[in-house]
Amino acid sequence: MSRSTTRRGRAAAAVISATVLVLAGCSSTQDDTADAPAPVTSPTAEPEPEETRPPLPDVPVQSTDLEALAASAAVEPTSLTIPALDISLPIDPVGVEEDGQMEIPPLAERAGWYRYGASPGEEDGTAVVAAHVDSVASAGMGPFAKLMDVEEGDTVEVTLADGATVEYSVTDVTVLAKPQVTWPEVFVRDGEHRLVLVTCGGTFEREARSYTDNVIVTAVPVGA
């Protein structure tokens, strides 16, 4: 089964709009301190170059004022598994940092679910789950480093806090340069339900402290 190289467009019935946020979780590109809720780290322990340019935004999305944007009231996801590639990792509910970046667990072995969007298993909207591809806080690459090897038709299993399991079937795997990704089509609060997994890929640019690409996996509920 061939892997798709371009993302399937989906009409967004309602796009979260207004304040620009930055999801920094898919790449470990910065050297924040441990007192931050979800520090963004570099992929190696080596010191950064003395002169660097600002890191590229990993996943810019549009959102309303968070005070008016209620977190999902659905059952929270607790873990995610892709059996075909032996990918398995726990999921933490995350929000947004004070600096406008989406909170992401610092360990590459854990993923973050964007709690201001849909939850896996809901009838509408997009459930977004993202994780570091690597981290200085982790030993080697994280489970989401395998995302680029996922194929259409692979099963994604999400376990919820109530013990239920939701199964999805992968419909699209996209690797795009970050500026080419249309993020408002990802962070959608209604419309057909789907699961979107995000991490970074491509080349790590030390000067920019960022990976060049995003790996985006889209899946729909089994039987949909």
Task: Identify the CATH number of the domain in which residue 143 sits.
Answer: 2.40.260.10
**Stretch 148-167: mean pLDDT:** 98
153 domain-assigned: yes
Q: What percentage of the chain has pLDDT greater than the value 70?
A: 67
6 domain-assigned: no
Which of 65-87 are b and which e, b meaning 16 or more Cβ less than 10 Å from the residue's Cβ?
A: eeeebeebebbbbbbbbbeeeeb
119 domain-assigned: yes
For the entire predicted model, the pTM comes to 0.75
Q: How far apart are CA 65 and CA 186, in angstroms?
A: 18
Count of domains forming the chain? 1
Residue 103 pLDDT: 83
3 domain-assigned: no
Q: Is the pLDDT of residue 49 over 60?
A: no
2 domain-assigned: no
Domain carrying residue 164: 19-44+52-221
160 domain-assigned: yes
212 domain-assigned: yes
**What band does 7 get if pLDDT is binned at 50, 70 and 90?**
very low
What is the CB-side half-sphere exposure of residue 210 using CA atoms within 13 A?
Answer: 18
96 domain-assigned: yes
**What band does 96 get if pLDDT is binned at 50, 70 and 90?**
confident
Q: Is the pLDDT of residue 125 over 60?
A: yes
Q: Is the pLDDT of residue 89 over 60?
A: yes
